[in-house]
Amino acid sequence: MNERLLQFIWQFQYFNKSELTALSHESVQIIFPGHYNTNQGPDFTDARIRIGNTIWVGTVELHTRTSDWKKHNHHNDRNYNNVILHVVWENDFTTNDVPVIELKSRVSKILLQRYQELLYSSAFIPCEKSIHSVPGITWKSWKERLMAERLLRKAKKVETYLQQNNYHWEETFWWLLARSFGMRINADTFEAIARSIPLNLLAKQKHQVQQLEALLLGQAGLLGPKFKEDYPRLLHKEYTYQRSKYKIGPVHLPLHFLRMRPGNFPTVRLAQLAMLVYESAHLFSKIKEAGSVKEVRQWLDVTANDYWHYHYRFDEKSPFKKKKLGAVIIDTIIINTVIPVLFAYGNYHNDQKYKDKAVQWLEETSSESNSITKGFDRIGIKNKNAYDSQGLIELKNEYCDKRRCLECSIGNTILSGRVKAGAIDPS
């Protein structure tokens, strides 16, 4: 037994309440168990409890043992002066002035067994064997909650970026857009490059894609004086001029090429990012007013300039292949940058239409394919679109891996026994 499980049992009243009495032998009737308190102070607030012939309104504190009251120094804490009931798993101390009830003999052993199975499961998700017994309506509402939590958490991250640049939305979008182009392995370096090149500086260079490439690749530390080919030598010369003129210098973070597909090399991604900047202006403003996610895909559908048709790296020729930003990376950028910033904009300005648009675009974007979505697919939980896959990623990362089964609607339903065979529609 632990306090979080005990709080769960009390919150949902998963114990035998018949002939309930305090250790002082007074009868106890729980009219309302209280609201679970995640802040400082007693575990539950605004509870209504009949003790003997008197109805008390106040707070409820829970411990695994009665003696924890003094161990936690509650007897000297004024925040606990309004506690009307002390709920314990096991009584080992009888001098507490607050009425005490013990639950050890009143909780189903089956519930405790289910909790142990979830807590110590080594499966992909703790409830892998039971998840299909959860009612479909529970699963649907929980997916909505997961998606809301994920978008709000990402919106908070966007706001931390906004605080760093005086709430400049286009600048923030530029930083996060560059981060997406860097993909997971080079995300930090690409973001640092974007931060080193303010939008007003980009605007001065955007009429020539070679100038933009020189700026991005130079800031990445990829341009030097000893190239054999004319094009990289031209870029190096251009960057040397820009560096002197604008008093800038390359970022001091590494770029990784190893164990990457050539199409994902940072040289190619930076060239594609340069082309996107060249072909677009005030991109986030356009995205806000876009009528559909298809328009956004068209704006992101860029191809690096001709030099890169024959190269993945400078001075290393390769067979002809246009370096077009593929559909998968475009959807990744939409999921991880466009939609979170759009939702954050709606959340910050309290404008529901932008938040609704963000959710709708998730539903209209292809689902992601990664180790998490493949894991759910293996156990029969499908994802039809990015709305589904983002919800599954949130479930796995924020609940399953952290064993937060008590805070999960799926885990709650399984623990309570409110299940039926084949309930979840895996599609």
Which tens digits make up the pLDDT trace of 205-241?
Answer: 888 999 999 999 999 999 988 999 999 999 999 999 9
Tokens 């002197």 appear where? 244
3-state secondary structure of 28: strand
Question: Is residue 113 in a domain?
Answer: no
Q: Is 30's pLDDT higher than 80?
A: yes
Q: Residue 266: what residue type?
A: P
pLDDT band, very low/low/confident/very high, at 424 (cuts 50, 70, 90): low
Residues 181 and 320 in one domain: yes
Question: Is residue 156 in a domain?
Answer: yes
Q: Is 273's pLDDT higher than 60?
A: yes
- Pick 417 or 283 by higher pLDDT: 283
Give the per-residue pLDDT at 259: 86
Q: What are the residue ranges of helices labelled H in 128-251?
A: 136-164, 169-181, 183-196, 199-205, 209-219, 230-246
Q: How far is it, in rounded angstroms, from Cα 302 to Cα 207?
A: 16
Question: Is residue 116 in a domain?
Answer: no
Read off the pLDDT of each residue in 24-30 and give the average, rounded to a whole number. 94
Question: Is residue 121 in a domain?
Answer: no
Question: Is residue 119 in a domain?
Answer: no
Contact 121, 128 (CB under 8 A): yes
10 Å Cβ neighbour count for 94? Answer: 10
Residues 371 and 413 in one domain: yes
Structural domain boundaries, residue 382? 126-164+366-420
pLDDT band, very low/low/confident/very high, at 163 (cuts 50, 70, 90): very high
Q: What is the value of pTM for the model shown?
A: 0.86
Give the per-residue pLDDT at 334: 98
Residues 52 and 159 in one domain: no
Read off the pLDDT of each residue in 85-100 and give the average, rounded to a whole number. 88
Q: What is the largest distance, in Å, between two alpha-carbon atoms of the chain?
A: 94
Question: Is residue 188 in a domain?
Answer: yes
Residues 346 and 290 in one domain: yes
Residues 148 and 159 in one domain: yes
Give the per-residue pLDDT at 373: 96
Residues 235 and 381 in one domain: no
10 Å Cβ neighbour count for 131? Answer: 22
Residues 303 and 416 in one domain: no
3-state secondary structure of 316: strand
Q: Is 295's pLDDT higher than 70?
A: yes
Residues 301 and 233 in one domain: yes
Q: Is 425's pLDDT higher than 80?
A: no
378-402 confidence digits (pLDDT tens): 999 989 999 999 999 999 999 999 9
Residues 37 and 95 in one domain: yes
Residues 338 and 214 in one domain: yes
Split into its structural domains, the chain has a count of: 3
Q: Residue 56: what residue type?
A: W
Phi then psi for residue 51, to 5 deg, are: -115, 115
114-143 confidence digits (pLDDT tens): 999 999 999 999 999 999 999 989 999 999
Q: Is 22's pLDDT higher than 90?
A: yes
Closest CA to 284 of 404, 177, 178: 177
- Pick 422 or 92 by higher pLDDT: 92
Residues 311 and 206 in one domain: yes
- Contacts of 97 by beta carbon, 8 Å cutoff, 6+ apart: none
40-88 confidence digits (pLDDT tens): 999 999 999 999 999 999 999 999 999 999 999 998 999 999 999 999 9
Question: What's the whole-number average pLDDT of the chain?
Answer: 94
Residues 337 and 230 in one domain: yes
Q: Is 404's pLDDT higher than 70?
A: yes
Give the per-residue pLDDT at 42: 96
Question: Is residue 260 in a domain?
Answer: yes
Give the per-residue pLDDT at 421: 54
What CA–CA distances, in Å, run from 215 to 173, 184, 252, 272? 19, 22, 15, 13
Question: Is residue 275 in a domain?
Answer: yes
Contact 218, 250 (CB under 8 A): yes
